[in-house]
């Protein structure tokens, strides 16, 4: 996100948590290690203890930590700031508050309310098909900024204009819940499509596009059902935040790779740990466990209408074999109407 902001003449402060020293040091030496290229000129880097300086006079704050790290970091932000400008949330997943599972924006609101009980959090959930490394290469990219409430109160126009570039198109959408859930859920379904890849790779079968498309399609159906059940809009899933993002996420990325390893016969926890040691977080694995609890706490009966979700859950947390779970799903799929 530094790139479109810098290209638009904005001053960007990039702060890293206590886990990001290596990234910051790499960037300081001239190359961001993950992007494998220099950051835009003028981006100022801040280490963990320098948060107060990093956010001083900020017009917008972007939060892009993983979902597991979100609440501690966001609370640190709240305790450091004397007021909070609008926040763009790039975190994808769910968070835990005691026994309760919340969406990221719900978690943010809860934490915000503890700090400023009278205040109102201005929050925007970012979604859409965006691999950061490609955006940094200025590949044409489209994103969705999901908000709720009044477009004017959030000054969405200025927010969007801060980012808009010929290579980066931003579409505001008044369905924050739909956007943040799509962003979280697509990681789960991308793991499922990865499991399918691993399964067929293991069987030595190269062409199974029909099944892959069936899974992709079913993922979108289930995401639309889930989103609409919790108050989001189906149309959000049928656009960039859903079909666009799942398209990109299933084509490349850590969640698909993790699923593929499991489909090839790996044990989920071991494969997850293995990737983690290499610095790769398959965030969908954790997201799936929380999503399962989230659905159970709010709409327990819904699980029965999500056969693909269940198949993925059975493989990753229930010890089911990928082959059995996927074929059982394919059979059940036929009974959907």
Q: Does 279 bind a second copy (CB under 8 A)?
A: no
Report the C-alpha gap between 112 and 281 in whole angstroms. 27
What is 112-141 written as a DSSP string?
Answer: HHHH-TT----EEEEESS--HHHHHTT--E
Angstrom distance (rounded) from CA 112 to CA 205: 51
Q: Is 204 in the site for a second copy (CB under 8 A)?
A: no
Site track 90-129 with a second copy (rule: CB under 8 A), x = hit:
---------------------------------------x
DSSP letter for each residue of 68-125: HHHHHHHHHHHHH-SS---EEE---SEEEETTEEEEHHHHHHHHHHHH-TT----EEE
Is 87:302 a contact under the CB 8 Å cutoff? no
User: Of 228, 267, 219, which is closest to residue 247 (Cα–Cα)?
Assistant: 219
Site for a second copy contains 154 (CB under 8 A):
no
Ramachandran angles phi, psi of 137, nearest 5°: -90, 5
Is residue 212 involved in binding a second copy (CB under 8 A)?
Answer: yes
163 interacts with a second copy by CB under 8 A = no
141 lines the binding site for a second copy (CB under 8 A): yes
Residues 166-185 that bind a second copy (CB under 8 A): 166-167, 169, 171-172
Q: Is 305 in the site for a second copy (CB under 8 A)?
A: no
User: Under the criterion CB under 8 A, does residue 220 sit at the interface with a second copy?
Assistant: yes
Residue 190 and residue 196 in contact, taking contact as beta carbons nearer than 8 Å: no
Instruction: By CB under 8 A, name the one of 248, 282, 311, 312 that touches a second copy.
Output: 248
Q: Would you say 172 or 202 has its CB closer to a second copy?
A: 172
Applying CB under 8 A, does 221 fall inside the site for a second copy?
yes
* Footprint of a second copy (CB under 8 A): 129-131, 133-135, 137, 139-142, 164, 166-167, 169, 171-172, 205, 207-214, 216-217, 220-221, 224, 238-240, 243-245, 247-248, 251-252, 327, 330-331, 333-334, 336-337
């Amino acid at each position: 996100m530094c790139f479109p902001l810098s290209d638009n003449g904005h001053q960007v402060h990039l702060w890293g948590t206590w886990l990001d020293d290596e990234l910051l040091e790499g960037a300081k030496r001239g190359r961001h290690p993950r992007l494998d290229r220099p950051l835009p000129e003028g981006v100022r880097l801040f280490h963990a203890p320098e948060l107060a300086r990093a956010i001083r006079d900020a017009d917008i704050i972007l939060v892009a930590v993983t979902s597991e790290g979100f609440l501690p970091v966001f609370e640190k932000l709240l305790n450091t700031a004397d007021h909070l400008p609008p926040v763009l949330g790039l975190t994808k997943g769910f968070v835990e508050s005691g026994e309760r599972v919340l969406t990221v924006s719900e978690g943010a609101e809860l934490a915000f309310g503890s700090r400023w009980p009278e205040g109102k959090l201005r929050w925007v959930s970012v979604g859409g098909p965006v691999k950061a490394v490609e955006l940094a290469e200025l590949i044409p990219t489209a994103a969705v900024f999901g908000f709720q409430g009044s477009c004017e109160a959030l000054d969405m126009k200025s927010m969007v204009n801060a980012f808009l570039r010929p290579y980066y198109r931003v579409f505001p959408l008044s369905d924050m819940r739909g956007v943040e859930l799509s962003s979280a859920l697509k990681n789960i379904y991308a793991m499922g499509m990865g499991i399918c890849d691993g399964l067929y790779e293991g069987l030595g079968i190269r062409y199974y596009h029909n099944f892959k498309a069936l899974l992709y399609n079913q993922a979108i159906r289930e995401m639309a059902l889930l989103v609409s059940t919790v108050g989001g809009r189906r149309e959000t899933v049928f656009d960039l935040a859903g079909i666009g993002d799942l398209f990109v996420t299933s084509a490349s990325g850590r969640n698909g790779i993790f699923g593929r390893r499991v489909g090839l016969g790996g044990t989920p926890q071991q494969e997850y740990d293995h990737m983690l040691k290499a610095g790769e977080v398959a965030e969908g694995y954790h997201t799936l466990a929380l999503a399962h609890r989230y659905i159970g706490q709010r709409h327990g009966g819904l699980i029965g209408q999500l056969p693909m979700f269940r198949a993925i859950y059975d493989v990753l947390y229930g010890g089911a074999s990928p082959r059995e779970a996927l074929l059982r799903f394919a059979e059940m799929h036929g009974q959907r109407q």
